[in-house]
Every structure is written in C-alpha cells, then in structure tokens.
Amino acid sequence: MATTTTERPEKRTAARATSVDAWMDTETRFLGRDVKRQALWLWALRLPALIPVLFMSPAIVTVNSAVLDGVEADVLGTGSMLLLILTLLISPLATLTRQRWFIPLRRWYGIMFAVTAFADAIAAGITTSFAGGVFGRLAGHSFLLAGLAMVLLLIPLFLTANNAAQRWLGLYWKVLHRLTYVIWALLFVHLALLEGLGFQRGTNGPSSAVDGNPIMHQRVYQLTACSIFLLVFRLPGVKRWVGEQQQAGRDWKVWLAVLPLAVLFVAGIAFMLNEQIAKGTGAFLLHAEDD
Amino acid sequence: MPGTSGARGPGPAGPDSHDEDRSWAAGANEPDWPYPDHPNWPAGSTGRPLTPDHPSWPASGVGQPIGYGRHDGTPPDVPYRDHPSWPAGDVGRVASDDYPSWPAGGPGGRWAASAGRPPAGGAPHHELATEPVPAVHHDPFPRRPAPHVPPARGRHVRGPAGYGYPRPGVPADDIPQRWSAQLARNTGPIPQTYYDLAFGDGRLQVVLTETPGGDPGWAAGGGNTLQLPGPGTPDQAVSWDTGDHGNADSVRVAERILADADQQAAAIRQEATSQAVAIRDAAEWEAAEIRRQAAADTAPIREGAEREAVEIRQLAEAEAAVIREAAKRDAAALRAHLTAMAGEMTQVAAYVTENLTSPGLPAAPPLPQAGPHTLTTPVELPVEPGAGPAIEPVSRPARAPRTRPGARPATKGGAGRGAKPKIRQYKAMRLTSAATAALVVFAAVAGSAEIGLHGFKFFVFRAAGTGATNGDGLPENQGPGQPGAPGAHHKAQHQQAAKAKSHGKAHQQHGKAHQQHGKAHQQHGRAHQAKPAKKN
C-alpha cells in the first residue's frame, strides 16, 4: 500500500540526483510531444499492475462460475501478493540504488494491490464453494477470516491514498499507513492457515508439487523468501550501514550483502509469477485449472 | 506715429502765403460770384445751414448758417482772415479748429479765381484726414515744416473749396457728390499740398485743390483730376484729366504724387517688416531665455525630488523591515503559544480518555510537560517496519526531524508521545482509527460467529481444496440448506423428539381410557355382588 508515497516531485533529488535520475529528468519526444523520460518509464511500470485484474476480467464479465470458483483465488490472490511485494520493494530499491525516480510507483502499486484484493474478496464471497453463504465464504475458515481482515484493513488505506487525505491526516497519515505492515503480517497468517507450515503433503499446496520442490510451491514460503529481502533493508541499522558504505565508496560490500537476499527474493517471486502467468492465462482463456 | 500727421496745425503755419504765389491767378472776381474770395460759393443763395457736427455741410433751408457762407445775400465781407477762400476783414470769423490749415487773413480773391469753377451743382466737399495715410503733397517751394499735431479724426468737410457747389440755376440734386480729402504728411519740414479725392462711378479722382506755387503750368480755373480705378473697375487704367485748359504738368504732378506715395508705402512697409522681424527675434530670444531659465530652475528641483524619493524609499524599506521582523516575532510567539495550548489540550484529552477507558488500570505515568520547548525536539516517527512500536520508551534519544520531500511542516513535529498534534489532524486520525477498529471488530465478530455456528474444528481445518486437512472428515456441507449446515442436525433431532413425545401422549391417553374402562367394569362388578343378597 502507499506507505509514504507522494506523487509530487521529489525536491531532494536535486541534491542527491544520480545519473539515472538526471537522465529520467530529461525530456524526450513521444507521440509528437516533449515528455519526461521519468513519466514514460513510470507509466510503463504501472501497466503490469493491471495484469491480475486483466486476467480475470473475461471470467468476471461472462460470470464464468467455473473459472471464478476454480482459479480466482490463485490469480487475484497471488496477484495481490505480488503487488504488495512490489509496493514494499520500492523503499529497499531506493535505499540500495539511491535513485528516486521510481518512488511514485509505490502509491500506484499499493492502490492496485487494494483493488486486486477487493476484487478477490468480492469474487470469493460470491462464487466460491465454501459453506455458510457470503459470510461463510469470507470468514467461514481461519484463513478466510485472515484474508477478510486484510481486506478490511485495506479500506482505510485505499481511501487515504491521495494527497488530500495526506493533508487531512497530516502527521497521522504515516501512522495510519503503517497498517501496511499489519496486512503484510496477516498475509503470512492467511497463507499459513491456508496451506500449513509443514512441507507439502499429498496434494497440499499449489501446483501439486510435480517439480520435486516441496518448499517453494507453498505460498507462505514464497512470501517468506521475498519478505526477507524486503524486511532486512527496511531495518534502520541496515539502512544506515548501507548509507555509510555508499558514502565511503564501498558499494561492492552493499551489493555483496544484497546478493543472497536478492537471489532468494527472485526465487520466491519467480514462483509467484509462474503461477500468476500460468493460471492467469488460463483464466483469461476461461480454462479453469484449479490445483 | 512720428512723422505722420493727419492735419496741420493752426496758426501762422498755415498756408497763408498766397501773396507770394506768383502763379496765383488774378482777377478771379467775376461779377456773378457772390463771394469775391470764394468764387464757387453760390452767391445770392439763401446760404447754407451747417450742422453742428459738420460745420461745412450745407443744410439748405435749415436754420442759420454756421461758419462761413451767408444765405441772406449779405456782401462777401466775411470775417475769416485765415482762410484764403474766406472773406477776410471780419474779425468775427471763427476759425475752424479742425481745419487749421485753412488759409486765413486774406481775402482770397485770387484763390477763388484760381480754384476753378466748380462744376454745376457741386456738392460740399468732404475733407478726409485719416491717420495712416501719409501726407501727400506737391509743393515745389520749400515751406515751413509742419508741426506735429495729433491726428484728426473723422471726415472733414471743406466748405466752398472752389467747385462742387450749386450754381445758380442748377438744382442741388443734380450736383454730383464729391469728396475731398486732405492727405498730409509731415516727415520733416515739408509743405502741404491739397488735393481732393472724389469718388464716383467706381473710380477715385484726385483733384488738386491748391496750385503748386512754383509750377508755371498751373492753370487756374481748370479741373486737374487724376482718375484711379475703383474697386469695381479694376480693368480701367489711371487717367489724368487736366480739364479744359490741358495742362500737361498735372500729369507730372500726379506721377510724382504717386511715386512719393509708393515710396512712402514701401518705406513704411519696410519699416514695419523690420520692426516685426525685430519683435519676433526678441520674442524668440526671450522665449529661449525663459526656457533656459526654466530648465535651469527645474533641474535642482528635480534632483531634490529624486533625492527625497530615494530617501523616502529607503526609510520605507527600513520601516517595513522593522515591521516585518516584529510581525514575525509576534507570529512565532503566537504560534508557539497556540501550539503549546493545543498540545496541552491533546494531552488532557488523551489523559481523560485513557482514564475513562481503563478505570481499573493504575495511573498512567506522568505525561511530558507541555510547552513550546517540546517542539524543538521532535521525535522521529517509526515509519519503517523494523522500527520500534508506536509507543517507545521515553529514554529513546530524539533524532533530528526528517526532511522527507513530501513532508509538510505540520508533520515534522513527530507523532509520538509528547508531540503537539494539530486538532484537525488529530480528529481525522481518531476518526480513521475508529473506522479501522470497527472494521477489525467486524472481522472478529464474523469469525466468532462462524466459530459459533460451525465449531472451532470446522473453522480451523478444511476438508477440501487448497490447504485441506485430509482425513478430518469435515465435509463442506454446512452451508444454508446443506445437510451440515449449522443447526440442521439439531433440528432433525428435535423433530424426532417431538414426534416421540406426541406418540407417548397418545398412548397415555389410551391408557387413561383403558383405566376409565376398567373403573367402569369394577363398578359394574360391585353392583352385581350387591343384588344376590336381596333374594333369600
């Protein structure tokens, strides 16, 4: 979610502007107009956030219950998780690269995370085969209740993800948007209750574990693999150390420390993307391939 | 103007020297002339009355004549000696002031004879003496200079000047009107020459009325007339009528008059032009001098004004700076005071809220002292996940306020304990927190309800789908209308129990009926036992 994102131009970039920021600040011709490269790149990076909803749009428009019941949780749920990870990824990237031109993506990804999560909750409450009606489908089980709590907590964050609310809340805007970390934690709970903390047993877990990897097919471990990187480079001590190393010209130390965590992050998000693309494409083609 | 005079002065300067004029025609006293000194005076007439304003104007038949002329046929012993044409010898003659040049003191007999005969029925001559007209004269003899006299005004009517008067037998209406004018000039000691101007038929006629003394060709009695084209006859040439005696010298006299007039006119024109040029030059020089003086006068004034403007501006800037500084100080003090007040109010509200919501808890630790000094040590917000909880120990060192680009001055004070939140933002936060808490409560209530409906086991585990706990035997059949729905089994049992209960009641009633039937049988047996005892 938009934790600290503002769409306003970063005034501090003038002092800390890297070569990439300076290049992004220049203008280029696009469709006969002079446009900043930053704007072009931002919009290019904003479009992928629409993919989860785009995958499910045919099934939603045609009210295809088989697809909605079968894979909507995989497509929209996994998509929401991916967007949350992308939202949380902006700050560590800014810390490591010292670039700030992509900071506005944080709010956009947070908003799209909320939109995707709302779509997931609505579809799950209407179409899934869980018992108990709408409330039963949303809160009939523990993992459903955790998911519902996530969605409910996203509502104030979504409503205040704008400059007007930022002015309205002032100092408390950041305090309120720290709920993002609560949602992050609830996602762990949601996935743990959904799939369990153990290794894959039988048909438990997504993708049926046919590739011999019993760990990374469980979403909770995928999220964990990504969250380690996101969490470590949010710690104030780590951030301070990174800043010191960068100021001292020892960037290699930073990248050396980043490398294993980045590999783990890429491994975890690769499984998410694999499932998102595989099941999302099937959903877009109205082929339900539930695990 | 000097040098010009409209009339001659009176007295001895008058041209009363006819005796010395050798060309003066003698024997002019003709028997039919009533006045020997004025041959053209109509003798024997009743005289002419003269109007007071025009003493020389004949007013026939109206009153007594004024001035010269008689109407009662008195002999021509007129008492005017200063006029050559006036009967001299009469001391009672009153000289006309407006005609000082009139010859006086002599009988004027020759004058009248030489003046020529006036045309029949001649009208009185008007003598013109306009100021700008120079005195034109023709006098070959040196004469005494004419004294400077003020210009005469108006027209002067000359009386019996020789011709133009009605003659006996000629009606007065038939006499053509003639005007005489005296053109005099006194640019130095010049003599005087008389000639008359006669207007008529669109032409101007100049008639010499006084013979040049030295001109031998001057013919007495002849009408020497210079005819000039009038305004209506510009195409006619100048002609000289010498009368019937044919004196050719008159042409020369006229030419000389004209040449003299032209010369005088040219001189006057040149003089006027010179004066105009001089006046213009003087005026221009004076204007230039005034401009230069004005410029010289305004330069120091302008410099002074500019200097004053600069000083005023500097003074205003200094005053504005002082006022601005004072306003800033006041605003800062006021802001600090208001912030302190807001912080105190917030702390009081938090304290009250805390005490009201948790009355059983021990008293909260003392709040930080409110005051402006807390603004100078803002506490950093734990915005990162790794940061500490919202409520941190008081002993945590405060950091410098963040300078995030998107941060606003209101957000730099810190949101933690001891901060001075804005009331509006605090209310917004309270509202948002309440909404979030309501949502969380809603989720908790929903989960609790689900647990209550389906049981904890069903809530924690699932039998099918992703994450299903195999072997638990929990089918997803607890939805509305499904066999495993909450209360469905209990309802079935209740219905069965209800059915069993109603069946028992039937049996009980049936038993009661049987009991009543047995009681009836018992009563009937008792009655049979009582009947055999009565027959023995």
Per-residue pLDDT reduced to its tens digit, B114-132:
444 444 444 444 444 444 4
Distance (Å, rounded) from C-alpha B453 to C-alpha B89?
173
Q: b/e for B369-407, b at 16 or more Cβ within 10 A? A: ebebebbeebbbbbbbbebeeeeeeeeeeeeebeebebb
Higher pLDDT, B466 or A146: A146
Q: Residues A122, B475: contact at Cβ < 8 Å?
A: no
Report the pLDDT value the prediction gives residue B209, as an integer from 0 to 100: 52
All residues at 6 or more sequence positions from B107 whose CB lies less than 8 Å from its CB, including other chains: B36, B37, B87, B88, B89
Nearest-by-CA chain A residue for B458? A141
Cβ-nearest to B480 among A6, A133, A170 = A133
Report the pLDDT value the prediction gives residue B359, as an integer from 0 to 100: 46
Q: Which residues are registered as beta bridge partners of A33?
A: A30
- State the residue for tokens 């006309």: B96
Cβ contacts of A204 on chain B, cutoff 8 Å:
466-468, 470
- State the residue for tokens 């005076």: B41
Q: Per residue in B263-276, pLDDT tens?
A: 999 999 999 999 99
Cβ-nearest to A194 among B381, B424, B467 = B467
DSSP B533: G
Cβ contacts of B425 on chain A, cutoff 8 Å:
168-172
* Nearest to B253, CA basis, from B287, B286, B213, B303: B213
Q: Which residues are registered as beta bridge partners of B197?
A: B206
Is residue A203 packed enough to be buried (19+ CB in 10 Å), middle (13-18) or exposed (0-12)?
A: middle
Higher pLDDT, A111 or B505: A111
Report the pLDDT value the prediction gives residue B185, as an integer from 0 to 100: 44
Retrieve residue B153's tokens.
Answer: 């005004």
Q: Is the confidence at residue B139, as pLDDT, over 70?
A: no
Distance (Å, rounded) from C-alpha B47 to C-alpha B158?
15
Phi and psi at A36, nearest 5°, equal -70, 140
Report the pLDDT value the prediction gives residue B241, as an integer from 0 to 100: 58
Report the pLDDT value the prediction gives residue B425, as an integer from 0 to 100: 80
Quote the percentage of chain A above a pLDDT of 90.
35
Cβ contacts of B422 on chain A, cutoff 8 Å:
170-171
- Span A53-75, average pLDDT: 85
- Span B512-524, average pLDDT: 68
Mutate to test the interface with B, among A85, A137, A169 (most CBs of B within 10 A): A169
Report the pLDDT value the prediction gives residue A279, as an integer from 0 to 100: 87
Cβ contacts of A129 on chain B, cutoff 8 Å:
465, 476
- State the residue for tokens 């005494």: B144
Q: Per residue in B428-455, pLDDT tens?
A: 888 888 888 888 888 888 888 888 877 7
Residue A90: pLDDT band (50, 70, 90) is very high
Report the pLDDT value the prediction gives residue B208, as an integer from 0 to 100: 56
Mutate to test the interface with B, among A134, A145, A172, A291 (most CBs of B within 10 A): A172
Nearest-by-CA chain A residue for B415? A171
CB within 8 Å: A196 and B459: no
Q: Is the confidence at residue B329, as pLDDT, over 60?
A: yes
* Nearest to B239, CA basis, from B196, B204, B215, B288: B204
Q: Residues B411, B401: contact at Cβ < 8 Å?
A: no
Distance of CA A72 to the CA centre of its chain: 17
Higher pLDDT, A31 or B181: A31
Q: Residues A113, A84: contact at Cβ < 8 Å?
A: yes
DSSP B141: S
Higher pLDDT, B406 or B344: B344
Strands (E), B234-298: 239-241
Q: How far apart are the first and last CA of chain B?
A: 212
Quote the minimal CA–CA distance from B410 to chain A in Å: 7
Mean pLDDT across chain A: 83
Q: Is the pTM here over 0.90, yes or no?
A: no
* Nearest to A60, CA basis, from A69, A51, A47: A69
Residue B469: pLDDT band (50, 70, 90) is low
Quote the percentage of chain B above a pLDDT of 90.
14
Report the pLDDT value the prediction gives residue B322, as an integer from 0 to 100: 93
Distance (Å, rounded) from C-alpha B324 to C-alpha B379?
31
Q: Residues A154, A114: contact at Cβ < 8 Å?
A: yes
Total Cβ atoms within 10 A of residue B334:
10
Q: Residues B116, B162: contact at Cβ < 8 Å?
A: yes
- Span B336-357, average pLDDT: 79
Nearest-by-CA chain B residue for A190? B467
Report the pLDDT value the prediction gives residue B482, as an integer from 0 to 100: 59
How do beta strands A27-30 and B155-158 pair?
Answer: unpaired
Report the pLDDT value the prediction gives residue A149, as an integer from 0 to 100: 92
Q: Residues B115, B85: contact at Cβ < 8 Å?
A: yes
All residues at 6 or more sequence positions from A84 whose CB lies less than 8 Å from its CB, including other chains: A1, A113, A183, A184, A187
Report the pLDDT value the prediction gives residue A88, as an integer from 0 to 100: 94
Report the pLDDT value the prediction gives residue B235, as an integer from 0 to 100: 58
Cβ-nearest to B476 among A131, A156, A205 = A131
Q: Residues A150, A77: contact at Cβ < 8 Å?
A: no
Cβ-nearest to A133 among B443, B466, B479 = B479
Residue A262: pLDDT band (50, 70, 90) is very high
Nearest-by-CA chain A residue for B441? A149
Residue B229: pLDDT band (50, 70, 90) is low
Q: Which residues are registered as beta bridge partners of A34?
A: A29
Cβ contacts of B449 on chain A, cutoff 8 Å:
135, 139
Quote the percentage of chain A above a pLDDT of 70.
85
Cβ-nearest to A135 among B385, B421, B446 = B446
Cβ contacts of B469 on chain A, cutoff 8 Å:
196
Quote the minimal CA–CA distance from B300 to chain A in Å: 53
CB within 8 Å: A169 and B429: yes
CB within 8 Å: A234 and B405: no
Q: Residues A32, A260: contact at Cβ < 8 Å?
A: no
Higher pLDDT, B277 or B342: B277
Taking each helix axis from N to C terminus, what angle separates B249-357 and B423-454, rounded to the nearest 10 degrees?
A: 40
Residue A213: pLDDT band (50, 70, 90) is low
Report the pLDDT value the prediction gives residue A29, as an integer from 0 to 100: 83
Total Cβ atoms within 10 A of residue B366:
7
Retrieve residue A53's tokens.
Answer: 């909803």
Total Cβ atoms within 10 A of residue B69:
28
Residue A14: pLDDT band (50, 70, 90) is very low
Nearest-by-CA chain B residue for A206? B466
Retrieve residue B157's tokens.
Answer: 């009517």
Q: Give the range among A53-67, A161-175, B389-403, B484-498 with minimum mean pLDDT.
A: B389-403
- Span A37-53, average pLDDT: 91
All residues at 6 or more sequence positions from B349 whose CB lies less than 8 Å from its CB, including other chains: none
Report the pLDDT value the prediction gives residue A220, as an integer from 0 to 100: 85
Cβ-nearest to A169 among B428, B446, B476 = B428
CB within 8 Å: A140 and B459: yes
Higher pLDDT, B361 or A194: A194
CB within 8 Å: B459 and A166: no
Retrieve residue B253's tokens.
Answer: 């006299």
Higher pLDDT, B276 or A291: B276
Write B196-200 long-range contacts (CB < 8 A, 24+): B196/B125, B196/B127, B196/B158, B196/B161, B197/B128, B198/B225, B199/B230, B200/B176
Q: Is the confidence at residue A122, as pLDDT, over 50?
A: yes
- Span B464-476, average pLDDT: 55
Mutate to test the interface with A, among B424, B462, B470 (most CBs of A within 10 A): B462
Q: Which amino acid is at A172?
A: Y
Question: Residue B282 in 3-state DSSP?
Answer: helix
- State the residue for tokens 């480079």: A233
User: Which of B181-190, B232-241, B286-295 is modeled with the greatest confidence?
Assistant: B286-295
Report the pLDDT value the prediction gives residue A124, as an integer from 0 to 100: 84
Strands (E), B11-154: 125-128
DSSP B195: E
Q: Per residue in B22-39, pLDDT tens?
A: 444 444 444 444 444 554
Mean pLDDT across chain B: 60
Cβ-nearest to A195 among B467, B482, B486 = B467
* Nearest to A231, CA basis, from A196, A197, A205, A268: A268
Report the pLDDT value the prediction gives residue B21, as an integer from 0 to 100: 42
Strands (E), B323-445: none
Nearest-by-CA chain B residue for A173? B429
* Nearest to B198, CA basis, from B170, B233, B247, B163: B163
Please, how many CA atoms are within 13 Å of residue A274, restricted to the half-sphere of its CB?
Answer: 14
Helix locations, B31-161, DSSP H: 109-114
Mutate to test the interface with B, among A137, A141, A220 (most CBs of B within 10 A): A141
Report the pLDDT value the prediction gives residue A241, as an integer from 0 to 100: 92
Cβ-nearest to B439 among A10, A153, A234 = A153
CB within 8 Å: A174 and B432: no
